[in-house]
Chain A
């Protein structure tokens, strides 16, 4: 597609439920990032993939958060046993190159707004 696509656009979950958020990157983009953006804050790094390899997951806030990109294209961010503090916008961003030869800008999806009640 022409841009990064995220689904669903909105998700309401009851506390304790599991959720899965999807990111379809721009075709051919090597690098994929997940960010969490709380209301009124800047995006906070969660995890980074280079193709199918998850090279950095240091930003994941707890072991309830899990991300995968099994074929180096579509990525899924899964949150288990959701808590109210997980409520935020989850943003996916991709770039054409890998970070060692990083020379292309980040392209963001529209995000998934997660509300945990």
Chain B
């Protein structure tokens, strides 16, 4: 099946810093989403981005489907950005599975 790898696995930054999180996938995909899991376990959808670039406030994401990767950018980090960031991909040919990576754990220090 398709493999999803995220890097780095852990990232510790000072408040105000910028960061780039990466998601690589082993085969072509039809859809890709980025999620933030907060310290209480709630998973929140950040972006639905099978290709191209999207921005939402301090966050933006770019997916280059032909090269099988996606990047999540966080600018001017805040402590509330802490948590785990997951990317999840879907291939229609593999029916209904949406496959998650193992995540990047981000800790923002005040």
Contact = CB atoms under 8 A, between A and B. Distances in A.
B42 A110 contact: yes
Contacts of A25: none
A23 to B, nearest CB: 14
Main secondary structure, interface of B, reads strand
Interface in A61-117: 89, 91, 93, 99-100, 102-108, 110-111, 113
Interface range, B side: 20 to 34
Contacts of A99: 90, 92, 95-96
Nearest to B103: A42
A57 to B, nearest CB: 10
Given A42-B86, A56-B95, A99-B90, A105 B45 contact: yes
A41 B101 CA distance: 9
A111 B43 CA distance: 9
Interface residues of A, number: 29
B6 to A, nearest CB: 8
A16 interface: no
Interface of A: 31, 33, 35, 41-45, 48, 50, 55-56, 58-59, 89, 91, 93, 99-100, 102-108, 110-111, 113
7 contacts: A33-B98, A43-B86, A43-B100, A89-B41, A103-B48, A105-B33, A110-B41
